[in-house]
Structure 1
Amino acid sequence: MSPPHNLLLFGATGAIGSYILDAILSKRAQFDRIAIFTSARTVETKASLVENLKKQNVEIIVGSVEDEEAVKAAYTGIDTVVSALGRNTLAQQIPLIRLAAASKDVKLFLPSEYGTDIAYGPASANEKPHQLKLKVRAVLEDEISRDDLDYAYVVTGPFAEMYLHFAPGIEAAGGWDVKARKSVLLGAKGEDRVSLTTMKDVGTLVLSALLTASPETLNRPLCVNSFTTTPAEIQAEFERQTTGAPWTDVSYTPLERLREVEKKAWDDGLGPATAVTLRRIWTEGGTLYAERANGIIGEPAVMTLEQVVANEVKRVASL
């Protein structure tokens, strides 16, 4: 397919969608149309944001993703759809994909894949947090003809900013508290490697995937990231940028202990259970790939560990 010219975004004002939209708008001149499909409630509650987007020549299409006719109308003249729907609404992408495949205009669909690789290994198919994304992939890969619709999965691994924070009420699942100079490192010695992507870089990487769309980048996962590090390296960077000396409250959660915490979180029906499962997957190496795909989408500039830690230190200082 030719490079995308007319984009429609779902979830564009959400937690990660806003970063994707910002990145796309940074290259506004390279696209003919940029539209977002959003709810009447969002237009009401985020009125100033919506007005600002209009000033940047963003089309605001108001409707419900469950309204088939509204979605069909929104697809008119659109060649590329980017979804940033949240974890709890991922299944809503399935009818959106089917309508895109039936559209005479839409040629490319990027589903909301930002996060953990859901096909990293054989065990991935059984992980609870992966189930909705797996259903979405099954539709794209097994049901939809490539003559009707192409796709790309932008797989980023964990968001760096969220990885730094403790899961609510479950400190054993790891995190850093800059104010208290307290941390819990995952792994027996904090030396298990993990690849992280900042939320800003998610936008950067999605934009690059769009601008470099080609047979090499389509109909496959694009496993990308900002950098690969370890909890111990993150700890050292926090110490360097704060006290200049070791923090006094540093502990570790070995993998076996993390599995116990995960099981209890699910057994007790705790909200952060999904977050604990994901952290266990990451600690097992589920973010590491033989080769990352940054290069085939143009090797866009991404953030460093030093920058991420500096932002977190600055954020805490401003509270």
Structure 2
Amino acid sequence: MATTSHLPSKILIFGATGAIGKYITDAILSAEALATQQISIFTSAVTVSNPGKQALLSSWESQGLSVITGNLNDAGDIEKAYDGIDTVISCLGRDVLASQIELLTLAEKSKDVQWFFLSEYGTDIEYDESSKTEKPHQNKLRVREFIRANIHRVECTYLVTGPYIDMFLTLLPGSEEAGGFDVESKRAVVIESGDDKVGFTTMLDVGKLVVAALRHPSASKGKILKVQSFVTTPNAILREFEKQTGVKWKVDHTTNQRLRELELENWDTDSPTATRITLRRIWAEGGTLYEKTDNEILGVVSSDMESLAAVVKRAVEGRGYQGKQPSLYYKQETGTQGT
């Protein structure tokens, strides 16, 4: 049962039109169980005028969402956007994660902001002792350190989802050895035997889980929540692809040693793929596995989450990552108005 006291009433979202932000914003707009009076997004004038974003923004506005246009680096714009807002949800992308420090500083100074969701959806940056040296984690670690030292009034929530399986179901162009699947060529690349377990969350489920956290403030505020859709193996994913396509796939294997070599090669050349290779290496080494997740304390059970078959089906039908916009199929896929 959802907690009914102190539910958010006015939500502001940063990074709403980004890769994961679309799913989170769409889930919040679709969640009838949230007693929100106002849902707004903060975005740039460039985004608002982008023809590729206008259909999405128009769809959201027709559902009652307000669009606030401003500069993420302008303190005055942020202060104005915070007026009357009690809950802030950051979905900012990896390149601008450090800007959350200023957003948090202004939230702490504001008279209204009470709750702040960090853009932590993804790989656990404090999984074990080795996590602190991983290059992709550094900006998130800086933000966590800043919060622990400086943020005292605003309650912060970290929703750690592990890898998005939608993105895992692709091969990295030029770095196919890092693992993944290609529907068109019916080819899979798996690390080692392919039997090592990985905890995944679908991008649709990330949105559901954010809504669940919003509906359970007593269980969520001030917490680092570890959540997942399911745990599976690359070989199980391969079998599901073969089942749904009706053909045997070509399978290549990459050793952990080769994966580490590929990782170093990409960092040495400043390749934009380096981060994604490091993350795939972390996943292959077990950095997504927990004895127990926090799904249950958010009122989420396994049947609420998407299945492996569902996400593979989208990929086979060309509706996976970088496919159809989530708001165009969210209700059809979930059969619900929010978790």
TM exceeding 0.5: yes
After superposition, residues 117-132 of structure 1 pair within 5 angstroms as 117-132=124-139
Deviation per CA, 1:32-76: give whole Å up to 9, x if none: 111111111111113333333222211111101111111111111
Return the offset for 1:316: 7.7
1:170: which partner in 2? 175
Residues 26-35 or 154-163, more deviating: 26-35
1:205 aligns with 2:206: no
Decide which of 18, 21, 27 is 2:22's aligned counterpart. Answer: 18
**Tell me, which stretches of 5 or more residues in structure 2 are unaligned?**
325-339
1:256: which partner in 2? 257
Return the offset for 1:225: 1.0
What percentage of residue pairs aligned between the two structures are identical? Answer: 47
Aligned-partner Cα distance in 1 for 2:76–2:114 = 19
Q: Which amino acid aligns with 2:21?
A: G
Aligned-partner Cα distance in 2 for 1:126–1:298 = 34
Deviation per CA, 1:117-162: give whole Å up to 9, x if none: 00000010010000000111112222111xx100110111111111
Distance 1:316 1:19, change over 3 A: closer
TM-score by length of 1: 0.94
Aligned-partner Cα distance in 1 for 2:186–2:170 = 13
Are the aligned partners of 1:157 and 1:225 in contact in 2 as well (CA < 8 Å)?
yes
Deviation per CA, 1:138-190: give whole Å up to 9, x if none: 12222111xx100110111111111011112101100111221111111x210
Residues 267-276 or 223-232, more deviating: 267-276
1:5 aligns with 2:9: yes
1:57 aligns with 2:64: yes
Q: Which amino acid aligns with 2:142?
A: K
Deviation per CA, 1:63-117: give whole Å up to 9, x if none: 0111111111111111000000100010111100010011111000001001000
Aligned-partner Cα distance in 1 for 2:85–2:319 = 42
Aligned-partner Cα distance in 2 for 1:81–1:89 = 16
1:185: which partner in 2? 190
Q: Which has the higher contact order (CA 8 A, sep 6+)?
A: 2
Decide which of 240, 244, 259 is 1:241's aligned counterpart. Answer: 244
Q: Which amino acid aligns with 2:122?
A: G
Q: How many residues of Structure 1 are paired with residues of Structure 2 in the alignment?
A: 313
2:318: which partner in 1? 315
Residues 59-68 or 28-37, more deviating: 28-37
2:110: which partner in 1? 103
Decide which of 150, 157, 160 is 1:152's aligned counterpart. Answer: 157
1:69: which partner in 2? 76
TM-score by length of 2: 0.89
Runs of 4+ in structure 1 displaced over 4 angstroms? Answer: 316-319
Decide which of 108, 114, 122 is 1:115's aligned counterpart. Answer: 122
Q: Which amino acid aligns with 1:118?
A: I
Secondary structure, in 3 states, of the residue corresponding to 1:250? strand
Return the offset for 1:13: 1.2
Residues 123-132 or 216-225, more deviating: 216-225
